[in-house]
Amino acid sequence: MVQHKNEAHIKRLADEIKGIKTVMFTTLGTDGFFRSRPMIAQKQEFDGTLWFFSHLEDDKVKEIQNDNRVCASFVDPAGETWVSISGTAEIVVDKEIMKKMWNPDLKSWFSHEINDKDIVLIKVQAHKGEYWESNKGIIVQLVELFTEVSQDKNYKMPGHKIVDLT
């Protein structure tokens, strides 16, 4: 089997975000400014698509309908992992997919049953991924950053990669 370049990137991003539950999800607001809010990442393996539950009447749904470019940021400071995935979003109403993705963590936000007309899915087709990793501790990185800045040098965070997923 031939593995395409973007399949390797998708696998790498899947490994990086595995186990990170909360995501900062960014849309372009109707006022022209970006808006980010925490959302629960679904537990299925990342395959180039991200899924989120939402209420139909939430601002983010309206914002996606106005401009479907979005970004999901995953952070695990303990594991020193930072990942940003940007792409295009669409609103999906498919109760079978919802049933497969439903998990108990969602009950805090969705008191209604899945069959409620107010619950929708946001499907994000990833176009670009970006990640930062380090085998150095955060303290060492901060010391390096302050040292470089104090010497008027440009600091480049180690392990920064941008990958095209299309």
- 13 has pLDDT over 60: yes
Contact 158, 134 (CB under 8 A): yes
Q: Determine the pLDDT at residue 144.
A: 53
| Domains defined for the chain, CATH in brackets | 5-164 (2.30.110.10)
Max avg pLDDT among 54-58, 109-113, 150-154, 156-160: 54-58
Would residue 19 be called left, alpha or beta, if left means φ above 0 and alpha means ψ between -120 and 50 degrees? left
**In the block, which residue shows the tokens 């079978």?**
96
More confident residue, 148 or 166: 166
Q: Determine the pLDDT at residue 163.
A: 74
- For 155, other C-beta atoms within 10 Å of its C-beta total 13
Q: Determine the pLDDT at residue 69.
A: 97
**In the block, which residue shows the tokens 């930072």?**
82
**What is the CA angle 71-77-109, rounded to 5?**
55
How sure is the predictor about 4, in pLDDT bands with cuts at 50, 70 and 90?
Answer: very low
CA distances from 51 to 1, 39, 46, 133, 155 (A): 28, 10, 9, 24, 35
- 132 has pLDDT over 50: yes
- pLDDT digits over 79-123, tens only? 778 899 999 999 999 989 988 888 877 777 777 667 677 899 999
Q: Determine the pLDDT at residue 39.
A: 93
Instruction: Record the tokens describing residue 128, joined without a space.
Output: 């670009």
Residues belonging to the chain: 166
Q: Determine the pLDDT at residue 36.
A: 97
Q: Determine the pLDDT at residue 155.
A: 47
Max avg pLDDT among 22-36, 77-91, 137-151: 22-36
